[in-house]
Amino acid sequence: MGRIKVTDCGIEGLYVIEPEVHEDARGYFVETYNYRDMQEKGLDMVFVQDNQSKSHKGVLRGMHFQMRHPQGKLVRVIRGRVFDAAVDLRRGSVTYGKWYGVELSEENKKQFYVPAGFAHGYLVLSDEAEFCYKCTDFYHPGDEGGIPFDDPEVGIEWPFEKGMELMIAERDRNWERLSVSKFAF
């Protein structure tokens, strides 16, 4: 019971989750997900798909969402370090267009819960990073939407390092700005 710490990020539904880590001379053990512990903290989502990706330093993936089949995501890093960000796209939300970011790493073992109705993305800060996430809905090809990672009206403060060479997918360079698309869930 209660083996996780849940921190509200100031945007309804968005949470940083810190599991209890047991370390000794042999290494460590961490329970990365326990439905009962999550439910006890008021997080009652059901996950249907797990994904994992590996990326190199300077890769920026995002800001993505699924339009007709929105997904909640519980994200974490098992190797390396990333800056992870989410933007509220929920119609009528008092925090519509606001963002929150957190560093996730193999050292801090933090997780980030991004609910359905948010755009999500991350920047790899280490030489390589392995990123894992659980989803509340299945991936539907052709259903992806996005906003630019550098949308000036959103203003995400990415921690770009001096001399960092960004690697961004072509589709992520061509999303319409939030104020132009007016997309909302």
Question: Which residues are annotated as catalytic?
Answer: 64, 133
Cβ atoms of 17 and 5 within 8 Å: the answer is: yes
Residues in Cβ contact with 161 at an 8 Å cutoff, skipping those fewer than 6 apart: 125
In sequence order, the β-bridge partners of residue 128 are: 56
Q: What three-state secondary structure class fits 178?
A: helix
Main-chain dihedrals φ then ψ at residue 11, nearest 5 degrees: -125, 120
Q: Quickly tell me which residue has 């053990």 as its tokens.
A: 29
